[in-house]
Amino acid sequence: MAEVKKWVVEDINRTAPNLAAIKRFSTDDCAGLRFENFLQEYQVDLILHAISKIGIEYYEGDDKAGGVVRKGKLGPNFFRFKSDHSEYFRRARIFEKVFEERILRLVNFFPRVQEVASKTFSLGHGVAEHQDRRMMNFTVRVLPEAPIHRDWMPGENTGLSFAPRVSEQFAWNIYLKTPKAGGQTRIYKEQDPAQAAKGSNYIDVAPRVGDLIIFRSTQAHSVLPSDGERLTLSGFFGITSEKLLFWA
Ligand SMILES: O=C(O)CCC(=O)C(=O)O
């Protein structure tokens, strides 16, 4: 009889990490991992202060479910500029420097996200490149809600040279500001968003300041409506035969 996947998001505690749960996630046997207090309160405060000084850009963007939503971002994400690669890379060079000097110099969290992912999958890591140009490593995002969708870059016809090498894709999010209510990330057991919408098993993860959540972005997922601001550090990574590749 086939094993039934345990559809839970496992909590991973920094001092005593649940290695069995990490192993289960790496072999696609649970919905996600939540690294509790990945950032400490003072680190979140430092990052929030830096972000408030840089200023969030708001725009109307595609919600991957046929709608348009108001999004807040700092740093380009590829999906927004999928039809204008040069604008994406132009902005990437600007924000790479801004992030390095104004956020990572204070709290160098990104290499830690890469290390956690590397340990989980026993693979090295790097930032993805397209024609010798580095992709953005992460973005800062205000996302009050998101309809059911999935993120699978190799299927999006992007023309990115590394895309065909990606065999699995993951989303990672660190919560910096959480709403008074709502804003849970709902991860469905189903991959197809239309099937998920008809009714499928799911798990809700309530956002908590400082936590890092990692899940397979190819599972249908959504963000439930938030009452209040919901701000994250976010990105994707993919598995290739040599290493994990990160991009946003
Ligand atoms: O912000 C989140 O919790 C998840 C957002 C999302 O849809 C994603 O990362 O693909």
Residue 109's pLDDT is what?
98
Provide the CATH topology of domain 21-247: Jelly Rolls (2.60.120)
Reported as a single tens digit per residue, the pLDDT across 26-42 is 999 999 999 999 999 99
Residue 71's pLDDT is what?
84
Distance 171 CA to ligand 1 centre (A): 7
Task: Tell me which H or E stretch contains 46.
Answer: helix 41-54
Reported as a single tens digit per residue, the pLDDT across 127-159 is 999 999 999 999 999 999 999 999 999 999 899
Q: Given the CA of residue 232, which atom of ligand 1 is nearest to it?
A: 1
Reported as a single tens digit per residue, the pLDDT across 161-195 is 999 999 999 999 999 999 999 999 999 999 999 99
Distance 174 CA to ligand 1 centre (A): 10
User: Which residues touch 34 (CB under 8 Å, ≥6 apart)?
Assistant: 9, 10, 11, 12, 205, 211, 212, 213
According to DSSP H, which parts of 58-192 are helical? 85-99, 110-121
What's the predicted TM-score (pTM) here? 0.94
Task: Tell me which H or E stretch contains 22.
Answer: helix 19-26
Domain map (residue ranges) of the chain: 21-247
